[in-house]
A and B are shown apart, each in its own frame.
Chain A
Amino acid sequence: NINDDTLILLFILLDGTKNGETFAPAKDQFQEELVIRPLHSGDIYASFQFRTLWDTDFLQEGQKKVSHYRLFPKSLGQVLSKFSVQELHISFTQGFWRTMQWGQPFIPSPPGAELWVWFHDTVSDVDGNWKELTNVLSGIFCASLNFIDMTNTVQPSASFKPLGLGNATDHRFLRYATLPREIVCTENLTPWKKLLPCGSKAGLAVLMKSEKLFHSSFHSQAVHIRPICQDEQCTSKAWELRQTLNVVFDHYTSGQGKKEWSLFKMFSRTLTEACPLASSSKVYVDITDNPELFELSPATPLLSQAVVLGDRRTYSVYDLTRAETFGQLRSFNLLLRWKGDNMLRPLLHAERYVAGFGLQTGEIHTVIYNNHPYRAFPVLLMDSVPWYLQLYIHTLTVTSKSRDNKPSYIHYQPAKDRHRPHLLEMLIQLPPHSMTEVTVQFERALLKWTEYTPDPNHGFYVGSSVVSALVPSMVAMSTNFTQDQPLFSSFVPVKEESSYFVRVYTEPLLVNLPTPDFSMPYNVICLTCTVVAVGYGSFYNLLTRTFQVDEPSPPLAKRLANFIRRIRGVPLLA
């Protein structure tokens, strides 16, 4: 049990310091955080973030291979050093994030599985490393990531810049792939939970019960690994592993229609202790709309302000490392009760759908809304379309406010059948308070009959488009990245104070391809064999058969008479 483990840990630590020997072990620390944001529609958004920071270098050649892992999971560490990975971002999402109703998420993710990796610039065969990396990750996360191959991997030229330290931004070392069909269920959550230092036995991870987490409108779990600055001067690197889990509970399905939430209602558990290996364990509740929208209990004097997504929000902080948080009952349960209703207007919002009819042609429409009243800003739209939807790029149109809007940068890589998908990246300037529509026509290809999935009438998925933008911020953002900030506001490094970086994912598309009748080979064989047997067989018989006249044998009396006549030597009867 946990008490014994902490005792043993204490002994080991004491032992190390008592000897006073030379070695200072590589410093690693673990922080866990839960942010609860009540949404205007009565739903509730909970975001778990677990961060392990480790002061070591997997990729340094001179040093011996890292072999002693403490808080950082060994399976991921070995993957990083074997494939020379500089940055790894993988997410598994079930459901679609509704920006118009819920605002912007702290960490966005598209439906299905998404994996993008920056390799170190010493790698010579990036494609080979990518293929092996996807296979290894499919074993670690129990997902079918081995379906990622050259037909759905792209190399974006301007999107997905590294989120960690790095100066080499040669996009030859970047690979991006998405599997929109990938299902997320308990078998993906189980190995994800096992990567945490405390597992699911202590700290915030005890709240992760699959029966409640998957009974939600949106569930997304992700792993982000990147090198970050160790300190203010930023002279050395530290590796950061962030495991995030975002979930939105719907008040109709999970809440039984009542706009009232508590930790017990959301997760069927309450918190009893912090993870002993964590240096900080906090629960933040967004109370910016506290008096008008909802009321929170138990109240806490600890408040914190943070600028997140261009807005200054106030948070109630509950520190789980302090015993007072748990109160008399040794258990911590929050209660939020809604009072009013309010509407939300996010500044950037995108949608995508397929237009047209029939199974031959169609049109993809991507609509991007800029809801800022007076500021225009640029967005980078990245589209990756599978090769079996053959795009006609000469029909590409970008219109804003019913006028043509020419993008200032277009990168298009055409698809090669069965080899690589289409990649279209455009930098579009969105006028203020406008709707921009990007349309492109396509034709559906007929696949070979072995390339169809076992359920082809379901349709084929096209991955989400990615819209990356620098949205003007109403509040000045802090560019000092290393000061002590809550984890949810320090994910994306901020370079300038007046805007914040956001990534919006559109819906994936489900497109029907012309599907053959799979029983036809059997039908054709049957019919051909029948025709051959009946038609050719009888024709052959007619041609090669000879006919002989066959006399019927005479009756018995006649035969006897003929026999006697033969004996007598008299001519026989006819």
Chain B
Amino acid sequence: MSHDFLQMHLKAVISCLLIFLYKVHTTKAGQFFSSGHTNNWAVLVCTSRFWFNYRHVANTLSVYRSVKRLGIPDSHIVLMLADDMACNYRNPKPATVFSHKNMELNVYGDDVEVDYRGYEVTVENFLRVLTGRLPPSTPRSKRLLSDDRSNILIYLTGHGGNGFLKFQDSEEISNMELADAFEQMWQKRRYNELLFIIDTCQGASMYERFYSPNLMALASSQVGEDSLSHQPDLAIGVHLMDKYTFYLLEFLEEVHPASQANMNDLFKVCPQSQCVSTPGHRTDLFQRDPGSVLITDFFGSVRKVEITKDTINLTSPVEPPIQRSGSGDIQIESLTYVDQLPVAEIIHQKPKQKDWHPPDGFILGLWTLILLVFFQTYGIKHLKHIF
């Protein structure tokens, strides 16, 4: 009887252990594999030009810095800055962009790669990057090479209004265009989930028209409200950051690659008491519950590691280059350097042979007119006297 009792006890203990392990499995490992994405991309855009819009560049660079710190590599970040603030001649500290007054934090850093800069930041280029319709000679660093398992973070900042965002003081993008671009991305399976953050005046109007699935959007202010800037620095002379992104940066500085902070915490960033404007968000198009979405799903980078104990044979070593023949075999003539300024040669240079082009439209028309008039007056029978 004691033997049975012991057995029963053992079975109970084992089953308890199994249930416990199963629970652990669903919470940690289960969560690890349930998000459905395998790589992360970020498109960070600053759309304002001129020195007094320093804060927009600082906004974008602080998000860039956080995203790099949390693991997304430069090859997966498309950074677009419409103007150069760091090496601007009005910057009293060159090669720096500060986010806090008294120059506490240099968000520009020493290792930054800007993909689109200056005049290249246009609505057309932005939409081409999103939809992937770029000319074939565009280098890889300027392309968004995402696939259907990519989570993309898109951050826009600049001057905006009700339903539009201004690019470089000369053109705008409307919320309908943006919604259509996201729909194109969805139909071409260019994203798994997309997080859209915008820090402009009346930012919520930009996400009103979205209609594609798996989109989550955050804005710094509602329609009819202005987003305000945070604090000026008297040495640099301009406002350094916008309020919303300043508190967003503060929040992101606490996040590390293994952090479990989720989207609900992100929605609480910068309430009206701190931001003056009311930040808004939109989650109705998103399939998962925001409470279960980790910050690092969008701001960090997924590195799934598979451990294996098998040995792998590396390929055969590099093949030797063809040995050059010995000097005695063939008489190779020695090569020479070119004369840098051969005056005599230049003076006696023959004019370049220009390629012959058929006569242009106007000349052709003129000659046709002349010939027509000639034959009209004199008739065809006189041809034999001419030729």
Could you say which residues of chain A place their CB within 8 Å of the CB of B108? 186
Interface string of A134-175 (1 = CB under 8 A from B): 011011101110110000000001100111111101010000
B239 at the interface (CB under 8 A from A): no
**CB atoms of B335 and A214 under 8 A apart:** no
From A138, A167, A186, A236, give the contact of B324 (CB < 8 A): A236
From B119, B142, B320, B336, give the contact of A23 (CB < 8 A): B320
Instruction: Tell me, in angstroms, the Cα distance from A495 to B110 when the chains sit together.
Output: 42
Could you say which residues of chain A place their CB within 8 Å of the CB of B115? 139, 142
Could you say which residues of chain B place their CB within 8 Å of the CB of A209? 110
Instruction: Tell me, in angstroms, the Cα distance from A234 to B336 when the chains sit together.
Output: 7
Question: Shortest Cβ distance from A55 into chain B, in angstroms?
Answer: 9
Instruction: Tell me, in angstroms, the Cα distance from A268 to B347 when the chains sit together.
Output: 51
**CB atoms of B335 and A165 under 8 A apart:** yes
Could you say which residues of chain A place their CB within 8 Å of the CB of B324? 236
A469 at the interface (CB under 8 A from B): yes
**CB atoms of A139 and B336 under 8 A apart:** no
Instruction: Tell me, in angstroms, the Cα distance from A427 to B95 when the chains sit together.
Output: 41
**CB atoms of A210 and B118 under 8 A apart:** no
**CB atoms of A25 and B327 under 8 A apart:** no
Could you say which residues of chain A place their CB within 8 Å of the CB of B66? none
From B113, B169, B335, B349, give the contact of A191 (CB < 8 A): B113
By beta carbon, the residue of chain B nearest A170 is: B352
Instruction: Tell me, in angstroms, the Cα distance from A94 to B88 when the chains sit together.
Output: 11
By beta carbon, the residue of chain A nearest B142 is: A139
From B137, B327, B343, give the contact of A378 (CB < 8 A): B343
Could you say which residues of chain A place their CB within 8 Å of the CB of B342? 161
Interface string of A169-194 (1 = CB under 8 A from B): 10100000000010111110011000
Could you say which residues of chain B place their CB within 8 Å of the CB of A233? 327, 334
Question: Shortest Cβ distance from B198 into chain A, in angstroms?
Answer: 21
Interface string of A26-59 (1 = CB under 8 A from B): 1000000000000000000000000000001000
B21 at the interface (CB under 8 A from A): no
**CB atoms of B139 and A138 under 8 A apart:** yes
Interface string of A481-509 (1 = CB under 8 A from B): 10000000000110100000100000000
**CB atoms of A185 and B118 under 8 A apart:** no
A337 at the interface (CB under 8 A from B): no
Identify which of residues 138-154 in chain B touch chain A, using a CB-to-CB cut-off of 8 Å: 138-142
Known: A135-B138, A235-B334, A454-B168. A64 touches B319 (CB 8 A): yes
**CB atoms of B95 and A214 under 8 A apart:** yes
Interface string of A109-144 (1 = CB under 8 A from B): 000000000000000000000011001101110111
Could you say which residues of chain A place their CB within 8 Å of the CB of B94? 211, 214-215
**CB atoms of A164 and B337 under 8 A apart:** yes
Known: A186-B95, A211-B94, A380-B346. A234 touches B334 (CB 8 A): yes
Instruction: Tell me, in angstroms, the Cα distance from A454 to B94 when the chains sit together.
Output: 24
Instruction: Tell me, in angstroms, the Cα distance from A184 to B342 when the chains sit together.
Output: 34
Known: A24-B320, A142-B117. A158 touches B334 (CB 8 A): no
Question: Shortest Cβ distance from A481 into chain B, in angstroms?
Answer: 7
**CB atoms of B340 and A455 under 8 A apart:** no
Between A163, A191, A454, the greatest number of chain B beta carbons within 10 A of the residue's beta carbon is seen for A454
By beta carbon, the residue of chain B nearest A19 is: B317
From A131, A210, A235, give the contact of B335 (CB < 8 A): A235
**CB atoms of B141 and A139 under 8 A apart:** yes
A518 at the interface (CB under 8 A from B): yes
**CB atoms of B112 and A493 under 8 A apart:** no
From B50, B84, B95, give the contact of A210 (CB < 8 A): B95
Identify which of residues 69-95 in chain A touch chain B, using a CB-to-CB cut-off of 8 Å: 94
Instruction: Tell me, in angstroms, the Cα distance from A505 to B334 when the chains sit together.
Output: 34
A297 at the interface (CB under 8 A from B): no
B307 at the interface (CB under 8 A from A): no
Identify which of residues 365-382 in chain A touch chain B, using a CB-to-CB cut-off of 8 Å: 378, 380
Identify which of residues 172-193 in chain B touch chain A, using a CB-to-CB cut-off of 8 Å: none
Could you say which residues of chain B place their CB within 8 Å of the CB of A64? 319
By beta carbon, the residue of chain A nearest B88 is: A183
Identify which of residues 332-363 in chain B touch chain A, using a CB-to-CB cut-off of 8 Å: 332-343, 346-347, 349, 352
B86 at the interface (CB under 8 A from A): yes
Could you say which residues of chain A place their CB within 8 Å of the CB of B118? 144, 181, 183
**CB atoms of B318 and A139 under 8 A apart:** no
Instruction: Tell me, in angstroms, the Cα distance from A23 to B323 when the chains sit together.
Output: 9
Interface string of B1-32 (1 = CB under 8 A from A): 00000000000000000000000000000000
**CB atoms of A427 and B343 under 8 A apart:** yes
Could you say which residues of chain A place their CB within 8 Å of the CB of B139? 135-136, 138-140
**CB atoms of B340 and A158 under 8 A apart:** no
Could you say which residues of chain B place their CB within 8 Å of the CB of A136? 137, 139
Could you say which residues of chain B place their CB within 8 Å of the CB of A183? 84, 87, 117-118
Give the B interface residue count (CB, 8 A): 56
Q: Is the interface of B mostly helix, strand, loop or mixed?
A: loop
A18 at the interface (CB under 8 A from B): no
Instruction: Tell me, in angstroms, the Cα distance from A184 to B327 when the chains sit together.
Output: 47
Could you say which residues of chain A place their CB within 8 Å of the CB of B84? 183, 185
From A25, A26, A157, A181, give the contact of B352 (CB < 8 A): A157
B322 at the interface (CB under 8 A from A): yes
Could you say which residues of chain A place their CB within 8 Å of the CB of B317? 23
**CB atoms of B168 and A211 under 8 A apart:** no
Known: A132-B137, A135-B137, A139-B141. A22 touches B338 (CB 8 A): no
Question: Shortest Cβ distance from A211 into chain B, in angstroms?
Answer: 5
**CB atoms of A167 and B111 under 8 A apart:** no
B60 at the interface (CB under 8 A from A): no
Instruction: Tell me, in angstroms, the Cα distance from A455 to B96 when the chains sit together.
Output: 23
Between B87, B323, B324, B340, the greatest number of chain A beta carbons within 10 A of the residue's beta carbon is seen for B340
Identify which of residues 398-439 in chain A touch chain B, using a CB-to-CB cut-off of 8 Å: 408-409, 427
A98 at the interface (CB under 8 A from B): no
Instruction: Tell me, in angstroms, the Cα distance from A455 to B82 when the chains sit together.
Output: 12
Instruction: Tell me, in angstroms, the Cα distance from A357 to B234 when the chains sit together.
Output: 38
By beta carbon, the residue of chain A nearest B333 is: A235
Instruction: Tell me, in angstroms, the Cα distance from A125 to B386 when the chains sit together.
Output: 44
Could you say which residues of chain B place their CB within 8 Å of the CB of A169? 338
A470 at the interface (CB under 8 A from B): yes
Question: Shortest Cβ distance from A524 into chain B, in angstroms?
Answer: 18
From B87, B135, B318, B340, give the contact of A184 (CB < 8 A): B87
**CB atoms of B95 and A211 under 8 A apart:** yes
Question: Shortest Cβ distance from B57 into chain A, in angstroms?
Answer: 11
By beta carbon, the residue of chain B nearest A164 is: B337
**CB atoms of A186 and B110 under 8 A apart:** yes
Question: Shortest Cβ distance from A200 into chain B, in angstroms?
Answer: 8
By beta carbon, the residue of chain B nearest A15 is: B317
Known: A131-B137, A186-B110. A495 touches B339 (CB 8 A): yes
B235 at the interface (CB under 8 A from A): no
A548 at the interface (CB under 8 A from B): no
**CB atoms of B95 and A166 under 8 A apart:** no
**CB atoms of B340 and A501 under 8 A apart:** yes
Could you say which residues of chain A place their CB within 8 Å of the CB of B346? 158, 380, 409, 427
B313 at the interface (CB under 8 A from A): no
By beta carbon, the residue of chain A nearest B79 is: A187
By beta carbon, the residue of chain A nearest B136 is: A132
By beta carbon, the residue of chain B nearest A133 is: B137
List 9 A-B pairs, Cβ < 8 Å: A23-B319, A139-B140, A142-B117, A165-B335, A183-B87, A183-B117, A427-B343, A492-B340, A501-B340
> Which 3 residue pairs spanning A and B have beta carbons closest together?
A139-B139, A23-B320, A185-B87
Given contacts A211-B96, A468-B341, 5 further A-B contacts (CB under 8 A): A186-B112, A229-B335, A409-B347, A454-B49, A470-B340
A-binding residues in B (CB < 8 A): 49-50, 84, 86-87, 93-96, 108-115, 117-120, 135, 137-142, 168-170, 317-324, 327, 332-343, 346-347, 349, 352
